[in-house]
Amino acid sequence: MLEDYKEYDKIIYKQMENAISNNLSHAYLFDLNNNVYAENMIMAFVKEILCKKHISKEEYDNCSKCKRIDDGNYSELKKIYPDGLVIKKEQLDELQKEFSTKALESDKKIYIIYDAEKLNLSAANSLLKFLEEPGEGVIAILLTNNLNSVLNTISSRCQILKFNNSKIEDFINYNNINSKVTIYKIAFSIFLRTNIDEYIENFVNSVIDFWKTYESNGKKMIVYEKQYFLDIFKEKEEILNFIRCSILLYRDVINYKLNNKILYYNDYEDILEKISNKNALNRLLYKLSILLSKEKLVSKNVNVNMFVDGIIIDMEE
């Protein structure tokens, strides 16, 4: 329910409430600001537009229409993701074709464009026309984490709403979800797109497993590491994600050592304890600094084997 998000971003909440009860714009551009709960809040907004304002949590939880919206089985809602690195004109053309007929299930139709900064020029041109003459009841919702890169011609035609930066603790407490998924989302500031939960579980398991093996093998890890980087952390993006999850892990080991609150790996206290016992605080800080410096390196074109060897060798220095 939208109301559940009242405390998380009061300004956006007010703007959304106001839109629903008074007048909806035909185009919104959300600056997500890497806010981890933004997508959930936007989906709650979408459901109030397409379905209704639910009176109670019970009504909302049992609403079959909202369930279909969540599951992607609702014809009046379409989501568009970048196809590779860009959003292509064909995707916009297809959308407009689908949305040219009258809404059947509701008097509104909504399309959501993820990573709106990735609209290439011809896609943007196609979208411009649609933004100007959207057809009856059609509402555009554009999302970006990079507002400055969205083409001006697009952003000037939308109402722009900016999210706060979220507090990580709020997010964890609020969602009460599988902590591996939480770690993953925080590490990458991404949306959960489709059902990638299993992939995420395996991914975070592998990160934990990697560092467990490293902490008990030290330099010998160079022998074992290949299997991880050949099988699991293959692509550049995955290597970057590996580094980010690892940064969060070592931050938490440091939190553990200092008796601070564990922020991310709450369910893995035994591992935090093990790593903490093996390392003096200055060693942990040193390892964290290595990981932080490697994060910057990943975006450059590096040889994966040498890159990974480098992490272990630098850490063992």
* Residues making contact with Zn ion (CB under 5 A): 51, 63, 65-66
Q: How far apart are CA 16 and CA 248, in angstroms?
A: 33
The nearest distance, CB 161 to Zn ion, in angstroms, is 22
Q: How far apart are CA 139 and CA 14, in angstroms?
A: 19
Nearest CB to Zn ion, comparing residues 59 and 169: 59
The nearest distance, CB 37 to Zn ion, in angstroms, is 20
The nearest distance, CB 16 to Zn ion, in angstroms, is 16
The nearest distance, CB 64 to Zn ion, in angstroms, is 8
Nearest CB to Zn ion, comparing residues 57 and 234: 57
The nearest distance, CB 192 to Zn ion, in angstroms, is 20
Nearest CB to Zn ion, comparing residues 51 and 150: 51
Q: How many CA atoms lie within 13 A of 134 on its CB side?
A: 18
Nearest CB to Zn ion, comparing residues 51 and 154: 51
From 142, 245, 130, select the one nearest 185 (Cα to Cα): 245
Q: How far apart are CA 220 and CA 218, in angstroms?
A: 5
The nearest distance, CB 66 to Zn ion, in angstroms, is 3
The nearest distance, CB 43 to Zn ion, in angstroms, is 12
Q: How far apart are CA 106 and CA 89, in angstroms?
A: 27
